[in-house]
Amino acid sequence: MKTILLIAGKDLRQRLRDRSAYLQAIVLPLALAFIYNLIFGSAATPRPFEYAVADLDRGLVSQAFTNQVLPSIEQDGYIKIRLVGTREEAASLAKEGTVDAAFVVQQGFPSTAGIDIVASPDSPTGVEVARSIARSFVSELNAVQLAVAATKPGDATQDELVQRALATASPLLVRDISAQEKILSLQTYFAAGMAVFFLFFTVQYGVSSILDERNLGTLVRLLAAPIPARTILAGKLATSFLLGLISMALLVVATSLLMGAEWGDPAGVALLIICGILAATGVTAVVASLARTPESAGSWQAVTAVVLGLLGGAFFPISQVGGIMSTLSLLTPHAWFLRGLSDMAGGASALAVLPSAAALLAFAAATIGIAVIRLSKVLQP
Amino acid sequence: MSCHDLRRNYGKLVAVNGVSFDIRPAETYGLLGPNGAGKTTVISIIAGVLQADAGQVTVAGRPITPRAIGAKAAIGYVPQELALYPDLTGRENLRFFAKLYGLRSSETKRRVDEVLGIIGLSERAGQLVSTYSGGMKRRLNIAAGLLHRPNLLILDEPTVGVDPQSRNAILGNIETLAREGMAVLYTTHYMEEAQRLCDRVGVLDEGKLIAEGTVRELTAMVGEQDRVRLTVAAEPQELARRLNASDLGHSAAVDGNEITLLVKDAPTALPAILDLAGQTVRSVIVEEPDLEAVFLHLTGKSLRD
């Protein structure tokens, strides 16, 4: 163990003298997480869509829409409505971009006319939401009308039927079912995504330095020393692990303090980080074992890190794509690392990360096993 | 150190073919041979870096193999290529290698200072090795093999690419170590180094040890033969063939425009040689018997081939 730490200490000293190490392990992931958070963080907490509403019918049903349905959504904070008197005024506000769209409830609604949506060219999403609200209301209305048509005369008075219809005229158009306890905040997501993405670059140095030692001629001297060859390999793996640990620890602290990332229960985070570093070390070690030179190892490790990072959802939540991509993402340590953090989000205990930690350990065991077998051959000059 | 019947093949290539020799304490043993003779393979096996296909090595009575961890501590190995970390200082390099050989912290500090003094690098010890000259790196490379006071120091061509001043310093250091009782295995293709340092010399050619003995014993093998070096303007191969065919000398070898010929009595034979060579001769050097002549006599090749 002493010799393993001696080799790892020497490697760390060498690595920390290279300024690019700090750039790769700390500055870049922090900067990218910060930038992603700025870009997507603001998009994820949008201002409420603003709509102009012109009720040209002023009938019982149109008023149900303008006075009950829209205000109830407004109350939830998703939209803002501005009542206007004419179609022209509503259309003008939409075209100017003052509002995202305009609802024009035409005279004769709902029997002879409908609801027009005047779109603002600058807000396609806002327009879609407006269409959805209108479509949903009309569908609901149609359902009520069918129900009324199917009612036998004498079952109820007309007033009773109208009251029943009005009672069901406020459809649940938007409902937040994001299950806060299973979703990471954007700050945490990007902090964790960038941290695990760059982890695969940070840990490269240790395992690839076997090839550097061979190029440098120092591997022969290590092999001539009174230490087992496997100690050299263990020293290199320890270097990768320690580099990963330093980088991840600094990133967790920095993103928590600077970006407000909430990583979760420290014990769970620590377990996930340790398992994640082992998996990253194993994957990069396998790639290094397939290369002949440090340069080719570096290139292939970078390709591997980028592909696994993209597939694993380090840049965006790939699980939301669904289907085969979501399944494929589980072939990457990144996805398990992020899933583990998600499982812990919202105050769950450290135990929630155990399935993900187990998956990461399985990655680590398989890849480190393969790497050790292959790299043992490198240790034979 | 004792090695017996060492054999090592690389595929169909026989790199080492039944090499056996011993080195006694305080003895400097030179392993001479041209490039590709198998010197580095032999010493890699002796250093415990490479597994022999057959044969046995013992150092201080213990068998040496790549897995003989404890026994390796008796050996200091200085590889042919510089084996140093350029992004560490000289002192950091030595400290790392000292600890790798199990020296305790206090002993490491004392020994590193001592060795830095021996190789004359104390003042530059705190600077990165990447800033050192070639000669300084060579000296540090040797120092890294001395830290743990090995019974056997193996030096694989330690002076390759070194300036004359550094070379002299390196040879002086090795002489001092041998005087202090260390056994030294030294490979080189510089015959003058072997003549200066080595108590005994083994001549290796095509993986076989073809001769062994003191410098005096080996030069006696070629008899009282002088070496005549002729530099010619043209057709050295043809002239070498004619000289070998004549009774003026033998073992004529060509290196560029230079022909080296072994002659029994150079002053007597020289006029006839020049007569045979004709007007193509540009210069003539006559040398008394040395290891180069021995090698030429034994193999028909120059050591620098």
Closest alpha carbon within chain A to B74: A226
| pLDDT higher than threshold 60 for residue A285 | yes
Domain boundary among B190, B219, B248: B219
Count of domains forming chain B:
2
Q: B236 and B194 in one domain?
A: no
CATH number reported for the structural domain that contains residue B236 in this entry: 3.30.70.1150
- Same domain as B21, residue B145: yes
Distances (CA, A) of B73 to B146, B157, B176: 11, 21, 21
Q: Which of B202, B219, B236 is the last residue of a domain?
A: B219
Q: Which residue of B has its CA nearest to A3?
A: B100
The pLDDT of A345-350, averaged and rounded, is 76
Question: Does residue B95 sit within a domain?
Answer: yes
- pLDDT one-digit tens code per residue, B214-243: 887 888 776 767 888 899 888 889 888 988
Q: Which of B50, B72, B81 lies closest to A225 in CB terms?
A: B72
Helices (H), A65-173: 70-75, 87-96, 124-149, 158-167
Question: Is B99 part of the contact surface with chain A (CB cutoff 8 Å)?
Answer: yes
Predicted confidence band at A61 (pLDDT cuts at 50, 70, 90)? Answer: confident
B149 assigned to some structural domain: yes
Tens of pLDDT, residue by residue over A246-265, are 999 999 999 888 888 888 88
User: What is the pLDDT at residue B303?
Assistant: 59
Structure tokens of A179?
């299950």
Q: What is the pLDDT of residue B248?
A: 82
- Per residue in B26-66, pLDDT (tens digit) is 899 999 887 788 888 999 999 998 999 999 999 988 999 88
Cα dihedral value A295, A301, A303, A304, nearest 10: 160
> Which one is predicted more confidently, A271 or A177?
A271
Is residue B28 domain-shared with residue B104, that is, in the same domain? yes
Q: Rounded to whole angstroms, how far apart are CA atoms A380 and B133?
A: 30
Higher pLDDT, A121 or A82: A82
Minimal Cα distance from B10: which residue of A?
A381
In a domain, B253, yes or no: yes
Mode of pairing for the β-strands spanning B62-63 and B183-188: unpaired
Asked if the structure places residue B297 within a domain, the reply is no
Which residues between 190 and 219 in chain A have a beta carbon less than 8 angstroms from any beta carbon of chain B? 216-218
Question: Are residues B271 and B130 part of one domain?
Answer: no
Contact (CB<8Å) A14/B96 = no
The per-residue pLDDT for range B163-179, each reduced to its tens digit, is 788 788 888 888 888 88
Q: Are A106 and A57 in contact (CB under 8 A)?
A: yes
Q: Are residues B199 and B230 in the same domain?
A: no
Judgement on whether residues B207 and B245 belong to the same structural domain of the protein: no
Chain B: residue whose CA lies nearest to A216 = B83
The pLDDT assigned to B77 comes to 92
| Contacting residues of A for B82, CB less than 8 Å apart | 217
Confidence check: pLDDT of A313 > 60 = yes
Cβ of A14 within 8 Å of Cβ of B48? The answer is no
A68-82, A132-146, B107-121: segment of lowest average pLDDT? A132-146
Is there a single domain that holds both residue B268 and residue B209? no
| Helix then strand then coil, % of chain B, to nearest 5 | 40, 30, 30
Q: Judge whether B97 lies within some domain.
A: yes
Q: Which domain holds residue B7?
A: 2-219
Q: CA–CA separation, B198 vs B183, rounded Å? A: 11
Second-level CATH architecture of A47-167: 3-Layer(aba) Sandwich (3.40)
Say what the pLDDT of residue A239 is: 93
Say if B236 falls within a structural domain. Answer: yes
DSSP bridge partners of B155: B78, B186
CA distance B156 to chain A (A): 12
Separation CA B80–CA B47 (nearest Å): 13
Mean pLDDT score, B89-109: 92
Amino acid at B224: E
Structural contact between residues B73 and B101, judged by C-beta atoms closer than 8 angstroms? yes
pLDDT, mean over chain B:
87
Assign A276 a pLDDT band (cuts: 50, 70, 90): very high
Question: Quick check: B83 contacting A, CB < 8 Å?
Answer: yes
How many residues are recorded in chain B? 305
A6, A18, A220: residue with CB nearest B83: A220
Q: How many CB atoms are closer than 10 A to CB B181?
A: 11
Number of neighbours of residue A6 by Cβ within 10 angstroms? 17
B301 domain-assigned: no
- How many of the other CB atoms lie within 10 Å of CB of A180? 10
Q: Are residues B170 and B112 located together in one domain of the fold?
A: yes
Q: Which of A216, A220, A226 sits opposite B49 (nearest CB)?
A: A220
Average pLDDT, chain A: 83
Show Cβ contacts of residue A159 under 8 Å, excluding neighbours closer than 6 positions. none
Q: Does A377 reach chain B within 8 Å, measured CB to CB? A: no
Is residue A43 predicted with pLDDT exceeding 70? no
Q: Output the pLDDT for position A176.
A: 39
Phi, psi of B56, deg, nearest 5: -145, 145
Whether residues B26 and B156 share a domain: the answer is yes
Residues of chain B numbered 136-155 and touching chain A (CB < 8 Å): 144
Q: How would residue A114 be classed by pLDDT, with cut points 50, 70 and 90?
A: confident
Q: What is the mean pLDDT of residues A306-314?
A: 86
Residue A319 to residues A51, A194, A246, A339, B57, Cα–Cα distance (Å): 33, 17, 29, 10, 61
CATH number of residue B68's parent domain: 3.40.50.300
Nearest chain B CA: its distance from A339 CA (Å): 40
Q: Is A208 exposed, middle or buried (0-12, 13-18, 19+ CB in 10 A)?
A: buried
pLDDT at A40 over 80: no
pLDDT of the residue at A170: 47
Final residue of a structural domain among B219, B248, B267? B219
Q: What's the CA gap between B74 and B144, in Å, rounded?
A: 14
- d(Cα B210, Cα B228) in Å, to the nearest integer? 24
Whether A319 has a pLDDT exceeding 70, the answer reads: no
Tens digits of residue pLDDT in A153-205: 566 666 666 666 566 544 444 333 334 445 677 788 888 999 999 999 888 88
Q: What is the pLDDT of residue B302?
A: 65
Q: What's the pLDDT at A152? A: 60
Domain boundaries, chain A: 2-42+181-378, 47-167
Same domain, B80 and B172: yes
Give the SS3 label for residue B128.
strand
Between residues 124 and 143 of chain A, which touch chain B (CB distance below 8 Å)? none
User: What pLDDT, on a 0 to 100 scale, did the predictor assign at position A98?
Assistant: 87
Residues 32-51 of A with CB under 8 A from B: none
Domain presence at residue B300: no
Higher pLDDT, B15 or A349: B15
Q: What is the CA radius of gyration of chain A?
A: 30
Contacts of A156 (CB under 8 A, 6+ apart): A164
Q: B193 and B76 share a domain?
A: yes
